[in-house]
Amino acid sequence: MSEADRREADRQEADEALAEYGAVLAEAIVAALPAWSSRAVAAHRPDLADAGAAAGREAGTALGPRLQALLAADVDQQRTNPLALAREAVAWPTAVLRDAGVPPVERDAHDRAHFPDDLYGLTPMSFAELDPSLNEPGILWGAIKARAHLLRHQR
Protein backbone atom coordinates (compact mmCIF):
# COMPACT_ATOMS: atom_id res chain seq x y z
CA MET A 1 0.00 0.00 0.00
CA SER A 2 1.37 3.39 -0.96
CA GLU A 3 1.71 6.22 1.54
CA ALA A 4 -1.12 8.10 -0.21
CA ASP A 5 -3.38 5.02 -0.05
CA ARG A 6 -2.59 4.56 3.66
CA ARG A 7 -3.40 8.22 4.38
CA GLU A 8 -6.68 7.91 2.48
CA ALA A 9 -7.59 4.74 4.38
CA ASP A 10 -6.80 6.49 7.69
CA ARG A 11 -9.01 9.44 6.69
CA GLN A 12 -11.86 7.14 5.72
CA GLU A 13 -11.53 5.20 8.99
CA ALA A 14 -11.57 8.45 10.98
CA ASP A 15 -14.65 9.71 9.12
CA GLU A 16 -16.48 6.42 9.81
CA ALA A 17 -15.53 6.54 13.50
CA LEU A 18 -16.72 10.14 13.74
CA ALA A 19 -20.12 9.21 12.29
CA GLU A 20 -20.39 6.13 14.54
CA TYR A 21 -19.50 7.95 17.76
CA GLY A 22 -21.58 10.94 16.73
CA ALA A 23 -24.67 8.74 16.47
CA VAL A 24 -23.96 7.31 19.92
CA LEU A 25 -23.51 10.79 21.40
CA ALA A 26 -26.69 12.16 19.78
CA GLU A 27 -28.73 9.27 21.16
CA ALA A 28 -27.20 9.64 24.62
CA ILE A 29 -27.89 13.40 24.73
CA VAL A 30 -31.54 12.93 23.75
CA ALA A 31 -31.90 10.16 26.33
CA ALA A 32 -30.45 12.41 29.06
CA LEU A 33 -32.67 15.44 28.43
CA PRO A 34 -35.79 14.33 30.39
CA ALA A 35 -33.91 13.62 33.63
CA TRP A 36 -31.78 16.76 33.25
CA SER A 37 -34.86 18.91 32.64
CA SER A 38 -36.66 17.33 35.58
CA ARG A 39 -33.70 18.08 37.88
CA ALA A 40 -33.40 21.62 36.53
CA VAL A 41 -37.06 22.38 37.17
CA ALA A 42 -37.14 20.58 40.54
CA ALA A 43 -34.23 22.68 41.77
CA HIS A 44 -36.62 25.65 41.65
CA ARG A 45 -39.98 23.92 42.15
CA PRO A 46 -39.88 20.27 43.28
CA ASP A 47 -43.60 19.90 42.60
CA LEU A 48 -42.96 20.50 38.89
CA ALA A 49 -40.39 17.72 38.40
CA ASP A 50 -42.78 15.65 36.25
CA ALA A 51 -43.54 18.67 34.06
CA GLY A 52 -39.79 19.17 33.75
CA ALA A 53 -39.32 15.59 32.56
CA ALA A 54 -42.09 16.04 29.99
CA ALA A 55 -40.43 19.24 28.82
CA GLY A 56 -37.15 17.33 28.45
CA ARG A 57 -38.86 14.72 26.28
CA GLU A 58 -40.26 17.50 24.10
CA ALA A 59 -36.79 19.04 23.86
CA GLY A 60 -35.37 15.69 22.79
CA THR A 61 -38.04 15.28 20.13
CA ALA A 62 -37.31 18.76 18.79
CA LEU A 63 -33.52 18.71 19.04
CA GLY A 64 -32.83 15.03 18.31
CA PRO A 65 -33.01 15.29 14.50
CA ARG A 66 -30.75 18.36 14.53
CA LEU A 67 -28.22 16.60 16.77
CA GLN A 68 -28.29 13.53 14.54
CA ALA A 69 -27.85 15.64 11.40
CA LEU A 70 -24.99 17.63 12.90
CA LEU A 71 -23.15 14.57 14.14
CA ALA A 72 -23.66 12.69 10.87
CA ALA A 73 -22.33 15.62 8.81
CA ASP A 74 -18.91 15.70 7.23
CA VAL A 75 -16.28 17.00 9.66
CA ASP A 76 -15.83 20.16 7.59
CA GLN A 77 -19.57 20.87 7.66
CA GLN A 78 -19.97 20.74 11.44
CA ARG A 79 -20.25 24.47 12.09
CA THR A 80 -21.38 24.09 15.69
CA ASN A 81 -21.03 21.40 18.32
CA PRO A 82 -23.46 19.06 20.05
CA LEU A 83 -23.20 20.80 23.42
CA ALA A 84 -24.26 24.09 21.82
CA LEU A 85 -27.33 22.36 20.38
CA ALA A 86 -28.06 20.57 23.65
CA ARG A 87 -27.96 23.93 25.42
CA GLU A 88 -30.98 24.97 23.36
CA ALA A 89 -32.96 22.50 25.47
CA VAL A 90 -32.93 25.15 28.23
CA ALA A 91 -35.95 26.73 26.53
CA TRP A 92 -38.22 23.84 27.61
CA PRO A 93 -37.62 23.78 31.38
CA THR A 94 -37.45 27.58 31.32
CA ALA A 95 -40.98 27.63 29.89
CA VAL A 96 -42.21 25.30 32.64
CA LEU A 97 -40.80 27.57 35.35
CA ARG A 98 -41.87 30.81 33.68
CA ASP A 99 -45.41 29.52 33.10
CA ALA A 100 -45.59 28.53 36.79
CA GLY A 101 -44.71 32.09 37.79
CA VAL A 102 -41.28 31.29 39.20
CA PRO A 103 -39.28 34.53 39.34
CA PRO A 104 -36.00 34.61 37.38
CA VAL A 105 -32.76 34.19 39.31
CA GLU A 106 -29.91 36.67 39.54
CA ARG A 107 -27.19 35.77 37.03
CA ASP A 108 -23.75 37.21 36.44
CA ALA A 109 -22.89 39.44 33.48
CA HIS A 110 -21.22 36.62 31.56
CA ASP A 111 -24.26 34.35 31.76
CA ARG A 112 -26.65 37.18 30.89
CA ALA A 113 -24.54 38.06 27.84
CA HIS A 114 -23.98 34.52 26.59
CA PHE A 115 -27.30 32.92 27.58
CA PRO A 116 -29.81 35.79 27.57
CA ASP A 117 -32.89 33.55 27.42
CA ASP A 118 -31.83 31.37 30.36
CA LEU A 119 -33.80 33.11 33.10
CA TYR A 120 -33.07 30.43 35.71
CA GLY A 121 -29.37 29.63 35.25
CA LEU A 122 -30.07 26.19 33.77
CA THR A 123 -27.55 26.16 30.90
CA PRO A 124 -25.21 23.17 31.16
CA MET A 125 -21.57 24.15 30.85
CA SER A 126 -20.46 20.62 29.97
CA PHE A 127 -21.82 17.29 28.83
CA ALA A 128 -21.36 16.04 32.40
CA GLU A 129 -23.75 18.73 33.66
CA LEU A 130 -26.44 17.28 31.41
CA ASP A 131 -25.65 13.85 32.78
CA PRO A 132 -22.40 12.42 34.16
CA SER A 133 -22.71 9.51 31.73
CA LEU A 134 -22.22 11.95 28.82
CA ASN A 135 -18.75 13.06 29.91
CA GLU A 136 -16.82 10.17 28.40
CA PRO A 137 -18.78 9.97 25.11
CA GLY A 138 -18.47 13.75 24.71
CA ILE A 139 -14.72 13.72 25.23
CA LEU A 140 -14.28 10.68 23.00
CA TRP A 141 -16.35 12.24 20.22
CA GLY A 142 -14.26 15.44 20.48
CA ALA A 143 -11.01 13.49 20.20
CA ILE A 144 -12.30 11.54 17.22
CA LYS A 145 -13.43 14.74 15.53
CA ALA A 146 -10.02 16.32 16.12
CA ARG A 147 -8.32 13.27 14.58
CA ALA A 148 -10.64 13.30 11.56
CA HIS A 149 -9.99 17.01 11.07
CA LEU A 150 -6.22 16.62 11.37
CA LEU A 151 -6.11 13.70 8.96
CA ARG A 152 -8.29 15.58 6.50
CA HIS A 153 -6.14 18.70 6.57
CA GLN A 154 -2.63 17.44 7.14
CA ARG A 155 -0.14 18.58 4.58
pLDDT of 5: 81
User: Are the CB atoms for 75 and 134 separated by under 8 Å?
Assistant: no
* Tens digit of each residue's pLDDT (9 = 90 or more) over 87-111: 999 999 999 999 999 999 999 999 9
pLDDT of 152: 87
Arithmetic mean of pLDDT over the chain = 94
* Tens digit of each residue's pLDDT (9 = 90 or more) over 26-65: 999 999 999 999 999 999 999 999 999 999 999 999 999 9
Domain count across the chain: 1
Q: Is the pTM of this model over 0.85?
A: yes
In angstroms, the CA 33 to CA 102 distance is: 21
In angstroms, the CA 79 to CA 37 distance is: 26
Structural domain for 42, as ranges: 3-153
pLDDT at 68 over 90: yes
Ramachandran bin of 65, using left for φ above 0, alpha for ψ from -120 to 50, beta for the remaining angles = alpha
pLDDT of 76: 92
pLDDT at 155 over 90: no
pLDDT of 60: 98
